[in-house]
Amino acid sequence: MIDDKIIFMEVILTSSFLLIIATILHFYVQSKLPNLFKDLEKVLFIAKLEALLSLIQLLSSDKVSTLIEGTVISKPLNIKVEDIANYISTNWDGLKDLIDMLNNKIRNVDRIIFLSQELKNATIQSSNENKLSVILLFLSALFLLLNFINIAFIFSGLALGTLIISIVTSLNNIKHAKELALVSFKYLEKP
């Protein structure tokens, strides 16, 4: 009976140590967020503006004008559909670089939005997981003192699992924060 209590105390102590690590990681991410979100609106505006300018560049391209003119003129002249398809595919290949550039700009905007939302949501989730772990650890220690070993084991296992999830969430937050900082730096440091 005493050996069981010692094992559970070790699990509770391990969970407590993990809670300290999870809390430190959470506070580290929390300290990075104000700097990241300070210029987020500006970064997002610049990224959207670049995507819009890429779209304008694509639409104002001589290749697009030629493509549209050729397609419009071909109908009254009764040109075969196969010839029209060949004409469009020939000119379409010339637009591939502009289309790829536009897709890249749109992906950047999507990535910025995704990273910012993910950081906000995951930070709240990590905070809630840490709070839940504290409650579970407290209940586990309480049930251990009251000699309800099976219930204490369940709560300590839940606390341990929740803390591991919290640590993984915090590590993902750090990765997302670094990526958002890199993307933001790219847009803010342009001449």
| Residue 52 belongs to a domain | yes
| Residue 180 belongs to a domain | yes
Write out the two tokens for 135.
């409650």
68-122 pLDDT tens trace: 666 666 666 666 667 666 766 766 666 777 788 888 889 989 999 999 999 999 9
The alpha-carbon radius of gyration of the chain (Å, integer) is: 28
Structural domains counted in the chain: 1
Q: Print the domain residue range for 121.
A: 2-7+18-188
Residue 16 amino acid letter: S
| Residue 13 belongs to a domain | no
| Residue 12 belongs to a domain | no
CB neighbours (10 Å) of residue 112?
21
> What value does the mean pLDDT take over residues 167-189?
88
| Residue 57 belongs to a domain | yes
d(CA 148, CA 156): 12
18-42 pLDDT tens trace: 888 988 988 888 888 888 788 888 8
Nearest CA among 190, 187, 9, 57 for reference residue 115: 187
